[in-house]
Every structure is written in C-alpha cells, then in structure tokens.
Amino acid sequence: MVNTLTTMRTLSMVNLGLTVADIPALILEFLTLNSKPIMQVLLMPGLAFILGFAIIAVWFERKFLARAMLRVGPYYCGGRSGVLQVFADFIKLFLKEMIFPDSVDWFFFALMPVMLSTIPSLALVLIPFDANWVLWDIGGLSLPMFLAIMGIAPLMAIFAGWSSNNKYSFIGAWRVAYMYISGEIPIIICSAAVAIMAGSFNLVKIVEAQSNGWFFIPQFLGFIIFFLGVLIQAERTPFDIPVAEVELVFGWRTEFSGILFGFTMMAEYVMFQAWTLLFITLYLGGYGGPILFGNIVGSHIFWLLAKFVVLIVFIILLRTVFPRPKIEQMIKFGWNYLTPLALLNLFIVLGLKLWGIY
C-alpha cells in the first residue's frame, strides 16, 4: 500500500518534473486556457446574467406597474428612483428570522426553495447565445434536455407546498400540478413542430434554420400557443393561479419566511427567463438579426438580448391588463383549446414539410 502511494506520488509530481512552486503557474495556465468557459459560467449565460436579470426585472416590474396604475412606485430608496429597492428587500430577507413550523417536513421545506431557483437556471446552459456560445453543447439532445430540466421544476413547487403541511399551501401545490399538466403538453407538441420544421433537435441548428424566415410566420398558431404556455409555466399574472392571493393566502409559498421566501421569489424570475429565452430561440430567430430583403442582418448576441427585453416588457405589461381566470377555466382552456390547436399546428407543419414548402 505504502509502495503504491509512493509510486503514485512519484508519477504525479516528480516524473512530470513538477514541484510545489509550480502550482501557481499551473493554476494560471488553467485559467488562461479556460478563460472563456469560466467567463461564460460566471457572466453571460451564467450567474451574473441570472442575478442581474432578477434584480433589474423585479425593480422594473414594480416601477412599471406603478406607472401603469398612475402611482410613483419605489422612490426614496437609493437616489430618486428606488434603484436600490430590491437590494433592500433581499438584505432584509437575509437578516430576517426563518420560521420552521413544528408540522413541516424540514428537509424538503429547507431544500426545495433552493432547488427551485437553481434547477431552472441549469437549463440556461443549453441556450445558444451565439453559434459558438453554448455552454453545454450536446448537439441533437439540447431541446429534449431543456424540456426535461424544466419539467423537473414543477415537482419542486409541489414538494415545497406539500412539505409545508398547511391546507392553503397544499391546495396551491396541487394547483401547480394541474397548471403544469395543462400547460406543458401544448408546449412540448409545439416544440416538436419546430423541431420537425428545422429538421433537428439541436437549438443551434433550429436558429440557423430560421435564417430564411423566423418560424413565427409559418407557425403562427404554435407561436401563440407557446407564448401562452410560457405564461402558464412561469406563473405569470394571467395564470398565477397557484399563488392566488385572494383565494389561497399565498398559494404554495404561504409558509416560507425569510430568505426561503426570497428564493421562491427569485425562482419565479429564473423560470420566466429560461422559458422566454427558449421561446425566442424557437420562434423569433434566437441570436439572428432581422431579415431584410431575404438576408439576415448580422447574427449577434445583441439581437437575442434586444428581443428578450422587448418580450419581458410585453409580458410585464400583460400583468397590468388581465384578471386571473379560475382554476377550472384554466384547465378547460388548456385541454379544450391549447392542446388540440397545438396538434393542428403540428399537422400543418407536417403538411408544409411534405409538400416541400419548408
């Protein structure tokens, strides 16, 4: 045993001609070689993008909603426009007491909010921000992998509501289940239609197949259905049935306090971000620019971000307009209209493909 260990040490350090003094140089070399992936993990599809989006979107949503209601919104916190409002909220939530009631299953209760905000952010590594800017390039598996990762997320919300052991959170958790079943199936059928039209499950190839025309023109039906599905999956306001503040106290989030509640709030925005980016990739040409005279104008990450901002503003604007449907109206809408129309969209795409129009 001792001999083996000695041999291994000899092999690793001495035979390669390395000493302890070389370690900083090795680390530096590792960082230089891998600077691009590290920057990608930390900055653009990674941590800074998600956190920055959550902070800016919460602030913008509060301010924008306030302006739509002829109010001022956050004003005194940080300068004269309330830019530090979200920081104040999160610092307060960090330093606030976390309550674990006696009746909760504390393991799931503590784990699920953290998982809920991390698992949807894992899906962001599959989004192409440019032709060579995919953090985890798994080729033809990327679209099914995205749907699989995002399909885990509702389970977290269900477990979170279940482990709270409170009647309101329990009702909210089962509403999450109803919502996701009626929203996810149309979304998957629509993505299948997109994959058939592009001829690949690879998200980069789907974007490149849209260089002649974005897919929302031939698949307008699928475009609308997918958009509604994004609203349902991200629990945005026309479909925020699981956290209905009037009927259930706060849905499946009722029992969370302190930073656990902060995580559930952030999770909503992470889901929102991931689904919106997939929506842009599938129907609005991803990172490709607008199409003028049959040619695409410059593929750049700027275009993806520009479309992203426009969509975010539009979705937040919807919140000021629409009231919330009841849960059975929502399920009826999902099963009676969205799913058959998504199938119709799939058949239209098959027809276009068979007759060779696309």
Partner 1 sequence: MANEEQLNRTLGNVPGAGAVYSLIDFIDGWARKYSIWPIHLVTGCCSPEFMQVCGSRFDMERLGILPFASVRQCDCIMVVGIVSRKMADRVKYLYEQMGEPKYVVAVGACPTGKGPFYDSYSVVAIDEYVPVDVYIPGCPPRPEAIIHGMMQLQEKIVKERRLGVKE
Q: Which residues contact partner 1 by CB under 8 A?
A: 62, 66, 69-77, 82, 84-85, 87-89, 91-92, 95-99, 245, 249-250, 253-258, 261
Structure tokens belonging to residue 75 = 């004003």
Strands (E), the chain: 291-292, 295-296
- Smallest separation, CB 57 to partner 1 (Å): 16
Smallest CA-to-CA distance from 219 within 237, 206, 231 is with 206
Smallest CA-to-CA distance from 344 within 175, 186, 115, 107 is with 186
Residue 292, SS3 per DSSP: strand
Cα–Cα distance between 19 and 23 in angstroms, integer?
7
- Residue nearer to partner 1 on the CB measure, 59 or 223: 59
3-41 burial, b for 16+ CB within 10 Å, e for fewer? eeeeeeeeeeeeeeeeeeeeeeeeeeeeeeeeeeeeebe
- Residue nearer to partner 1 on the CB measure, 81 or 211: 81
- Smallest separation, CB 266 to partner 1 (Å): 14
The dihedral formed by the CA atoms of 280, 282, 287 and 292, expressed in degrees to the nearest 10? -100
- Residue nearer to partner 1 on the CB measure, 165 or 257: 257
- Smallest separation, CB 75 to partner 1 (Å): 4
Cα–Cα distance between 30 and 194 in angstroms, integer?
39
- Smallest separation, CB 272 to partner 1 (Å): 19
- Residue nearer to partner 1 on the CB measure, 205 or 253: 253
Q: How many other β-carbons are positioned within 10 Å of the β-carbon of residue 186?
A: 25
- Residue nearer to partner 1 on the CB measure, 87 or 337: 87
- Residue nearer to partner 1 on the CB measure, 114 or 306: 114
- Smallest separation, CB 261 to partner 1 (Å): 5
- Smallest separation, CB 252 to partner 1 (Å): 11
